[in-house]
Structure 1
Amino acid sequence: MRGTRQAEALNEVLADLPEFRSAQDIHGELRRRGQRIGLATVYRHLQVLSQDGAVDTLRDESGETLYRRCRTSTHHHHVTCRSCGHSVEVEGPAIERWAERVATEAGFTDIDHTMEVFGLCPDCTGQRA
């Protein structure tokens, strides 16, 4: 997929989107830019980018998967505003320890996890930090 016209167009859109967006939103932006790429192709490319660690994913409160260009190569989590979608990357050493302990107690190895935290950002609550 890398090096194709579709992959390059998708990478350009992801570079321009500051917040998490659904595959449908990303597909719509590609169409607005004149790119003729099918939604299934967008999903496939996003899946590969996610597996490679180039794209962050999270599930919103309705369960829909959202995507954003990854801004760091280290393992991290996100705190996302329910109102405007603004997201901040955060490290969570306590979460890492908890996930490892829970998995070990259940007899699991080679674990992975995701953690999504939602709230209202300072701009949406009128309490600028």
Structure 2
Amino acid sequence: MSKSRDAVHEILRHNTGFRSAQDVFTEMRADGAKIGLTTVYRALQSLCDDGRVDVLRNDDGESVYRACQSQAHHHHLVCRHCGRTVEVAGPDVERWAEVVGAEHGFTQITHTVEVFGTCASCTAAMSD
């Protein structure tokens, strides 16, 4: 699994945007890798568990993956047109999640926040 996991991570590290498991699988097969789609999914999950890969659900509900740019906890601002992604800190979100959890008696709070919009470049291109 380590060899497959490293190969999947390498594909993601050479792409700036989020990619689906199917995208990663297709690229690896096109490059001649003998890997199955199930192995790609397992490798992606393992990389997510280790904090080496970010995962989010796009507007269509599909899970997409990207190599982490930062090891610290972060959120994403994603352009729904071109896929440009910016990692952002969210201290207000962190405090809110802890407060809401505590209000309801929850501990060990985790959360995921993804913000979708249109980046400046895509906005400019649409107004031309």
Query: Any gaps of 5 or more consecutive residues in structure 1?
Result: none
Aligned equivalent of 1:97, options 95, 98, 107: 95
Q: Distance in 2 between matches of 1:97 and 1:59?
A: 23
1:71-86 equivalent positions in 2, closer than 5 A: 71-86=69-84
Alpha-carbon offset, residue 41 of structure 1 = 0.4
Query: Any gaps of 5 or more consecutive residues in structure 2?
Result: none
- Report the AA paired with residue 27 of structure 2: E
Computed over aligned residues only, the root mean square deviation of the Cα atoms, in angstroms, reads: 1.1
| Partner residue, 1:11 | 9
- Post-superposition Cα deviations, 1:66-93, rounded to whole Å, max 9, x if no partner, equal 1000011100000000001110000000
Alpha-carbon offset, residue 32 of structure 1 = 1.5
Q: Is the 8 Å Cα contact of residues 9 and 35 (structure 1) preserved in structure 2?
A: no
Q: Is the 8 Å Cα contact of residues 76 and 89 (structure 1) preserved in structure 2?
A: yes
SS in 1 for 2:12: helix
Q: Distance in 2 between matches of 1:114 and 1:27?
A: 25
Q: Distance in 2 between matches of 1:83 and 1:49?
A: 26
Alpha-carbon offset, residue 36 of structure 1 = 1.6
Q: Distance in 1 between matches of 2:123 and 2:8?
A: 33
**Distance change in 2, residues 1:52/1:8 (3 Å):** closer
SS in 2 for 1:123: helix
Using structure 2 for the length normalisation, give the TM-score.
Answer: 0.93
- Report the AA paired with residue 46 of structure 2: V
| Partner residue, 1:20 | 18
- Post-superposition Cα deviations, 1:19-73, rounded to whole Å, max 9, x if no partner, equal 1111111111111111121010000000010011000111111111110000111
Runs of 4+ in structure 1 over 6 Å off: none
What number of residue pairs does the alignment pair up?
A: 125
Identity of aligned residues (%): 54
